[in-house]
Amino acid sequence: MNDADAATPTASEKTYAMLCHLAAFAGYLVLIGWLIGPLVIWMMKKDDSAFVDFHGRESLNFQISIMIYWIPVIALCFVLIGFALIPCLILFHFIAVIIAAIRANDGKHFRYPLCIRFF
């Protein structure tokens, strides 16, 4: 989806789109929070705004992808390389979410890298 395809999002839409991404940081406080946070915001606002719907789906897809990427990383801990990959995956998650939140707040669409599209 191009930025030119949709009307300019309102300040409220930008805020909710940004929150769809930032709510993923709840996962660092609650075990499954990185999925629940974006899901709650997306479910509340997906019918009201195509912009929020796009960012909510992107955020959920990325959070599910990250959860899937944890499986081989944890498995590789048995051969010790996984311990080096843990900080890399955490850093990638943190930076990608921050970039997505900034882009959403700027009213732009953002596609996460290495994201499996489920929705």
pLDDT at 93: 95
What are the tens digits of pLDDT across the range 8-43?
A: 899 999 999 999 999 999 888 888 888 999 999 999
pLDDT at 65: 96
Neighbours of 21 (CB within 10 A): 29
pLDDT at 6: 55
Contact 70, 89 (CB under 8 A): yes
Residue 4 has pLDDT above 50, yes or no: no
Q: What is the pTM of this model?
A: 0.88
Three-state secondary structure readout of the chain: CCHHHCCCCCHHHHHHHHHHHHHHHHHHCCCCHHHHHHHHHHHHHCCCCHHHHHHHHHHHHHHHHHHHHHHHHHHHHHHCHHHHHHHHHHHHHHHHHHHHHHHHHCCCCCCCCCCCCCC
Neighbours of 103 (CB within 10 A): 20
Domain boundaries, the chain: 9-105
